[in-house]
Amino acid sequence: MTIPISSYAHVRLTVTDIDVSRTFYDALFGLPVAFEVPEDADDATREQLDFLYGGVIYKLGNSLLGLRPVADDNFNENRVGLDHVSFNVANRQELDAAAALLDSLDISHPDVKDIGAGYILEFRDPDNIALELFAAKA
Protein backbone atom coordinates (compact mmCIF):
# COMPACT_ATOMS: atom_id res chain seq x y z
CA MET A 1 0.00 0.00 0.00
CA THR A 2 1.18 3.55 -0.71
CA ILE A 3 0.07 6.92 0.66
CA PRO A 4 -2.10 8.70 -1.94
CA ILE A 5 -0.65 12.24 -1.99
CA SER A 6 -1.79 14.80 -4.57
CA SER A 7 0.53 17.82 -4.24
CA TYR A 8 2.77 19.71 -1.88
CA ALA A 9 1.07 21.49 1.00
CA HIS A 10 4.04 23.74 1.66
CA VAL A 11 7.79 24.16 1.51
CA ARG A 12 9.60 26.13 4.20
CA LEU A 13 13.14 27.39 3.68
CA THR A 14 15.43 28.21 6.58
CA VAL A 15 17.16 31.56 6.17
CA THR A 16 19.73 33.56 8.11
CA ASP A 17 18.13 37.04 7.97
CA ILE A 18 14.34 37.24 7.59
CA ASP A 19 14.38 40.91 6.57
CA VAL A 20 16.90 40.36 3.78
CA SER A 21 15.08 37.24 2.58
CA ARG A 22 11.65 38.88 2.66
CA THR A 23 12.96 41.82 0.65
CA PHE A 24 14.36 39.41 -1.94
CA TYR A 25 11.28 37.16 -2.25
CA ASP A 26 8.87 40.12 -2.18
CA ALA A 27 10.79 41.93 -4.94
CA LEU A 28 10.88 38.85 -7.17
CA PHE A 29 7.54 37.17 -6.62
CA GLY A 30 5.22 39.59 -4.81
CA LEU A 31 3.32 36.69 -3.25
CA PRO A 32 0.50 37.44 -0.82
CA VAL A 33 1.25 36.70 2.83
CA ALA A 34 -0.77 33.81 4.23
CA PHE A 35 0.65 33.91 7.79
CA GLU A 36 2.85 36.27 9.78
CA VAL A 37 2.81 37.64 13.28
CA PRO A 38 1.39 41.18 13.20
CA GLU A 39 3.65 43.77 14.83
CA ASP A 40 0.87 44.72 17.26
CA ALA A 41 -0.06 41.10 18.09
CA ASP A 42 -1.07 40.31 21.64
CA ASP A 43 0.44 37.40 23.57
CA ALA A 44 -2.37 35.00 22.63
CA THR A 45 -1.90 35.72 18.91
CA ARG A 46 1.87 35.37 19.21
CA GLU A 47 1.41 32.00 20.90
CA GLN A 48 -1.07 30.87 18.25
CA LEU A 49 1.41 31.79 15.48
CA ASP A 50 4.55 30.47 17.19
CA PHE A 51 4.84 27.83 14.42
CA LEU A 52 6.17 30.67 12.23
CA TYR A 53 9.34 31.00 14.37
CA GLY A 54 9.52 34.69 13.49
CA GLY A 55 9.19 34.00 9.78
CA VAL A 56 6.53 34.36 7.13
CA ILE A 57 4.45 32.04 4.98
CA TYR A 58 3.35 33.11 1.51
CA LYS A 59 0.40 31.83 -0.50
CA LEU A 60 1.63 30.21 -3.72
CA GLY A 61 -1.30 28.94 -5.78
CA ASN A 62 -2.79 26.04 -3.84
CA SER A 63 0.30 25.63 -1.68
CA LEU A 64 2.48 27.68 0.65
CA LEU A 65 6.09 28.89 0.64
CA GLY A 66 7.60 29.74 4.01
CA LEU A 67 10.74 31.43 5.26
CA ARG A 68 12.03 30.55 8.74
CA PRO A 69 14.91 32.56 10.24
CA VAL A 70 16.99 29.97 12.06
CA ALA A 71 19.89 29.07 9.81
CA ASP A 72 23.41 29.99 10.85
CA ASP A 73 25.32 28.51 7.92
CA ASN A 74 25.25 28.67 4.12
CA PHE A 75 23.15 26.56 1.80
CA ASN A 76 24.86 23.76 -0.09
CA GLU A 77 22.84 21.60 -2.47
CA ASN A 78 25.47 18.86 -2.16
CA ARG A 79 24.44 18.08 1.43
CA VAL A 80 21.54 15.87 2.40
CA GLY A 81 18.31 17.84 2.22
CA LEU A 82 17.30 20.31 -0.45
CA ASP A 83 18.84 20.47 -3.93
CA HIS A 84 16.82 23.41 -5.31
CA VAL A 85 13.31 24.83 -5.55
CA SER A 86 11.76 25.21 -9.01
CA PHE A 87 8.79 27.45 -9.79
CA ASN A 88 6.61 27.17 -12.91
CA VAL A 89 6.11 30.10 -15.24
CA ALA A 90 3.82 30.14 -18.26
CA ASN A 91 6.30 30.34 -21.14
CA ARG A 92 9.75 31.24 -22.43
CA GLN A 93 8.80 34.92 -22.68
CA GLU A 94 8.14 35.00 -18.93
CA LEU A 95 11.61 33.52 -18.36
CA ASP A 96 13.14 36.26 -20.49
CA ALA A 97 11.21 38.90 -18.53
CA ALA A 98 12.34 37.25 -15.27
CA ALA A 99 15.97 37.37 -16.45
CA ALA A 100 15.56 41.10 -17.12
CA LEU A 101 14.12 41.59 -13.62
CA LEU A 102 17.02 39.67 -12.08
CA ASP A 103 19.44 41.86 -14.04
CA SER A 104 17.72 45.03 -12.80
CA LEU A 105 18.10 43.78 -9.21
CA ASP A 106 21.77 42.79 -9.75
CA ILE A 107 20.99 39.11 -9.13
CA SER A 108 23.43 36.99 -11.11
CA HIS A 109 22.21 34.13 -13.26
CA PRO A 110 23.30 32.15 -16.31
CA ASP A 111 21.39 32.44 -19.58
CA VAL A 112 18.04 30.67 -19.96
CA LYS A 113 18.75 27.00 -20.77
CA ASP A 114 16.88 24.70 -23.12
CA ILE A 115 16.65 21.34 -21.31
CA GLY A 116 14.55 19.54 -23.91
CA ALA A 117 11.20 19.38 -22.10
CA GLY A 118 11.33 23.08 -21.40
CA TYR A 119 13.47 26.03 -20.41
CA ILE A 120 15.01 26.92 -17.05
CA LEU A 121 16.44 30.05 -15.48
CA GLU A 122 18.66 29.42 -12.46
CA PHE A 123 19.63 31.88 -9.70
CA ARG A 124 20.23 31.99 -5.94
CA ASP A 125 18.63 33.74 -3.01
CA PRO A 126 20.57 35.74 -0.37
CA ASP A 127 21.38 32.52 1.54
CA ASN A 128 22.67 30.86 -1.65
CA ILE A 129 19.60 28.61 -1.93
CA ALA A 130 19.37 27.38 -5.50
CA LEU A 131 16.18 28.58 -7.19
CA GLU A 132 14.89 27.89 -10.68
CA LEU A 133 12.12 29.07 -12.94
CA PHE A 134 10.76 26.48 -15.38
CA ALA A 135 8.68 26.95 -18.53
CA ALA A 136 7.46 23.81 -20.29
CA LYS A 137 7.65 23.74 -24.07
CA ALA A 138 4.26 24.14 -25.71
Are 106 and 122 in contact by the 8 Å Cβ rule? The answer is: no
Please report the sign of the dihedral spanned by the C-alpha atoms of residue 60, residue 110, residue 128, residue 99. negative
Task: Identify the CATH assignment for 7-72 out of 3.10.180.10, 3.90.1300.10, 3.30.565.10, 3.40.190.10.
Answer: 3.10.180.10
pLDDT at 76: 79
pLDDT in tens, 81-102: 889 999 999 999 999 999 999 9
Residue span(s) of the chain under CATH 3.10.180.10 come to 7-72, 78-138
For the purposes of burial, counting CB atoms within 10 Å of the CB of 133, is it exposed (0-12), middle (13-18) or buried (19 or more)? buried
pLDDT in tens, 6-15: 888 999 999 9
What pTM does this model have? Answer: 0.90
Q: How is domain 78-138 classified at the CATH fold level? A: 2,3-Dihydroxybiphenyl 1,2-Dioxygenase; domain 1 (3.10.180)
Mean pLDDT across the chain, nearest whole number?
A: 93
Check whether 80 has a pLDDT greater than 80. Answer: no
Edge-to-edge, what's the strand order for the sheet holding 56-60?
Answer: 10-15, 63-69, 56-60, 33-35
